Amino acid sequence: MACGEVRFIGVVEESGEERAKIRVFPEFCGGLKGIEGFSHLIILYWIHLRDNEAERRTLLVFPRRHRANVKTGVFACRSPSRPNPIGLCVVELVEVENCVLTVKGLDAFEGSPIVDIKPYIPSVDAFPEAHVPNWALNEGAAHRENRF
């Protein structure tokens, strides 16, 4: 494998906020061993519908999930338009059956390639003291109302 090459490890077979299915390709299925012990996972996926030169050149956006009209750099928000269209989502793991994960809360579309899956570990992944700009304070509520 060449340096910098990304290998997709699976694909979103079914999308939906309440229930989604991620199929892990057979050659990577062994990497799921022990995953059923975690309640939540971090899913990294390729935002394939934004993978074009115009979207990859976008550096300033108006974040859609926020009520404020603040032009922001793509590295300061969660815009799907970015130089490398990689999405990140924390999901609840509902079921593991063979090479298929059933999850809740996935914001990727059907057909989105999966880049990686990591366990969500609260002691490592949560920072209650973290701060954000005022315009981003209601992201969670706005995100649930305005899924893209």
Q: Please check whether residue 116 lies inside any domain of the structure.
A: yes
For residues 77 and 62, give the distance between their C-alpha atoms in angstroms, rounded to a whole number. 9
Q: Please check whether residue 59 lies inside any domain of the structure.
A: no
pLDDT for 134 equals: 84
> Partners of 21 in the beta sheet?
14, 102
Q: Please check whether residue 115 lies inside any domain of the structure.
A: yes
pLDDT for 102 equals: 98
Q: Please check whether residue 71 lies inside any domain of the structure.
A: no
pLDDT for 21 equals: 98
Q: Please check whether residue 78 lies inside any domain of the structure.
A: no
Q: Please check whether residue 14 lies inside any domain of the structure.
A: no
For residues 11 and 128, give the distance between their C-alpha atoms in angstroms, rounded to a whole number. 32
Q: Please check whether residue 64 lies inside any domain of the structure.
A: no
pLDDT digits (tens, 9 = 90+) for 116-127: 999 999 999 998
Q: Please check whether residue 93 lies inside any domain of the structure.
A: yes
**Which domain CATH number covers 141?**
2.40.30.70
pLDDT for 63 equals: 80
Q: Which domain holds residue 141?
A: 24-51+87-122+130-145
DSSP-derived secondary structure for the chain: --TT-----EEEEE--SS-EEEEEPGGGGGGGTTGGG-SEEEEEEE-GGG-SHHHHH--EE--TTSSS---EEGGGS--S-SSS-EEEEEEEEEEEETTEEEEES--PPTTPEEEEEEE--HHHH--TT----GGGTTHHHHHHHS--
**Residues of the chain with confidence (pLDDT) below 70:** 1-2, 65-68, 138-148
Indicate the number of domains in the chain.
1
pLDDT for 69 equals: 77
pLDDT for 18 equals: 92
